[in-house]
Amino acid sequence: MLVGDDAVNIESYSTNIQKLYEQVKQDKALHDKHAMLHAKAFLKEAKKTEDASLIGVAYFYLGSACFDFKHNNKDFQTSLQQAILYLQNTEETGYLMQVYNHLGIDAHNHGNIQLSMDYYMKALNLLGSQDPTEITAMIMFNIGQIYIQIEEYKIALRYIKEAHRIIHKLPTKERSMLEGYCYCSEGNINLLLHRQASARRSLAGLDKVISESAAPEEISQDLFFMLFRIRMSNEEGDEAARDRQIQLFLQQLKRGEMDLGSITEVLDFIQLMIEIEHYNAAEETVCYTAPILAESDIPNIQETFAKHRITLYSQINDEAAYLGALNDYYRYAELHKSSANKAYAIALETRLSLDAMKKENERLSAAANTDRLTGIPNRGALNDYLEEVFEDCYHMEESLGIEFLDIDFFKEYNDTYGHQAGDEVLIKIAGILKGFTEDSRIYVGRYGGDEFVVVYRNMTDEEIMKIAEEIRNRVLALGISHKYSKTSPIVTVSQGIRNRVPKSGNKLWDFLYTADNALYQVKKTQKGQIMLMHTAFISSKSLADSTQI
């Protein structure tokens, strides 16, 4: 399974944070044993900034360190779930994809294939319309490994080839290891499909990648690469080459520090050694691996290890070791089942937390965009909508109507009946306006004070005037007494409207200005009326061309 790395815009943070960030990146790349210590220090400093992006990234590196070194699944899960909570509303898509990739690998290690695929799909969905990246290729590769496990080799090959295609588009310096993994995986699948010629081409591709890399000797000692060479030599009947490579594998295994990333290769090596009856190499690897795996809390890996030991000890007739392995197998099989349930519970808990956070964010967003008194969009939300709809109408060549509406003699109403009564009037008129928004072409908002705005999208003058008149009639139907109004003994409203298709050179301000001018003309000449205009400036001609009722 492949894990990745990404980059965050770190220059805006303190020098100390920049140093810690570079350190944890380096620790991850080199599998440094001090990774946990550095990751905790980075998280501590990140929390001081109260920056969600940085804290999320720090939790990712802490989780990654738990994954690589501590083998403590609870700490790993907790760290990455925290990373999700912090990163989900930031622009750090690459890191969030990596979090889901790590969770997918962990679920696969625990034998939870369905949950693993769920995490990988979540990561790929984050990509959206963006170009595929290195982490995209890694996820495709990891999905391919799942299909290999369930013996769907042709589907697996499609995913590996897609990962390979993405990798080819990366800068050369970033490609070597990734491309090598793809060649090996393609080769292994072709061997399983009995396509030796294709497998040889994969081996040639791997050799080319290694020879062109900056550190060919180091790369050639990767256990995944070495295991492919063993399989290839065995398939071609070259026992001498195979046995040399087996010894090299064992030497490299003991030379390096085994982490979770290499356990799969080690278990596959043991299985292969049993299959080709290389029992000494299998037993040597089992003896070396047992104390290391004893520190792991992943029952699925322990169960697989025990299964291989059962097969090995039955073949070499070691009854005591066989019975011990059998006992371990049943014990870890039960733990595996329990572990799978816990993994699903953690995933469900995270999903519920994310859903709750999403709902809270939606609630806060709605509260921030809603007028407290009337419950309709406030001026901020109204301005955002106007800018959006203006651009849409311009590009789609649709008409845009904007209406300003205010209550006639509202100051006098407040002075007479009190502000609480005035608020009740505002609430009732807002309720009338809100009723018209069942038509998706109509949007309403409170502009401020006693002034409201109605936005009409892609509607004719006749349609707009009909609705505006209906608004006026419904306000009149309220029959709210207003003895100091000079227009009517009840509350009335005045309405000024502009309707036109936005043209090149027009600004949203032109429409607002014209609608406000129309309202001004109504207030000036005959309150309680409606005027619809098409041009921005008041003139005898524009007034003559306007519609009034």
Average pLDDT over residues 15-34: 80
Mean pLDDT of 202-212: 91
Residue 359 has pLDDT above 70, yes or no: no
Q: How confident is the model at residue 374 (pLDDT cuts 50, 70, 90)?
A: very high
pLDDT tens digit sequence for 239-263: 999 999 999 999 998 886 666 668 8
Residue 6 has pLDDT above 80, yes or no: no
Q: What's the pTM?
A: 0.61
Angle between helices 113-127 and 134-149 (to 10 degrees): 160
The answer on pLDDT for 470 being more than 70 is yes
Pull the structure tokens for residue 78: 């907790």
**Cβ-count burial of 16 within 10 angstroms (0-12 exposed, 13-18 middle, 19+ buried)?**
exposed
Instruction: Mark 35-74 as b/e (b = at least 16 C-beta within 10 Å).
Output: bbebbeebbebbeeeebbbbbbbbbbbbbbbbbbbbbbbe
pLDDT of residue 250: 93
Supply the DSSP string of 452-518, one letter for each residue: EEEEEES--HHHHHHHHHHHHHHHHHH--B-TT-SS-SB--EEEEEEEE---TT--HHHHHHHHHHH
Mean pLDDT computed over every residue of the chain = 85
**DSSP string covering 238-295:** -HHHHHHHHHHHHHHHHHSPP-HHHHHHHHHHHHHHHHTT-HHHHHHHHHHHHHHHTT
CA–CA separation, 414 vs 371, rounded Å?
A: 19
CA distances from 115 to 101, 337, 416, 533 (A): 12, 14, 67, 60
Q: What is the pLDDT of residues 405-434, one digit of tens each?
A: 999 999 999 999 999 999 999 999 999 999
- The Cα–Cα gap between 325 and 150 comes to 25
Tokens 């699903």 sit at which residue?
344
Q: What are the backbone angles phi and psi of residue 489, rounded to the nearest 5°?
A: -75, -5
Q: Give the per-residue pLDDT at 66.
A: 82
Range with lowest mean pLDDT among 119-123, 359-363, 504-508: 359-363
Q: What is the pLDDT of residues 283-310, one digit of tens each?
A: 999 999 888 887 776 778 888 899 999 9
Question: 343-365 burial, b for 16+ CB within 10 Å, e for fewer?
Answer: beebbeebeeeeeeeeeeeeeee
Both structure tokens of 105: 């690998």
| Residue range 165-189, pLDDT digits in tens | 998 887 765 566 889 999 999 999 9
Identify which has the larger pLDDT, 380 or 443.
443
How large is the average pLDDT for residues 102-124?
87
pLDDT class of 343 with cuts at 50, 70, 90: low
Question: For every residue of 309-332, which 3-state class applies, written as one string?
Answer: HHHHHHHCCCHHHHHHHHHHHHHH
Tokens linked to 458: 């892609």
Distance CA 247, CA 263 (A): 18
Q: Which of 106-120, 242-256, 357-371, 522-536 has the lowest mean pLDDT?
A: 357-371
Most confident range, picked from 78-82, 211-215, 367-371? 78-82
Torsion of Cα atoms, 532 then 533 then 534 then 537, to 10°: -160
- Which amino acid, residue 454? V
The answer to whether the CB of 143 falls within 8 A of the CB of 136 is no
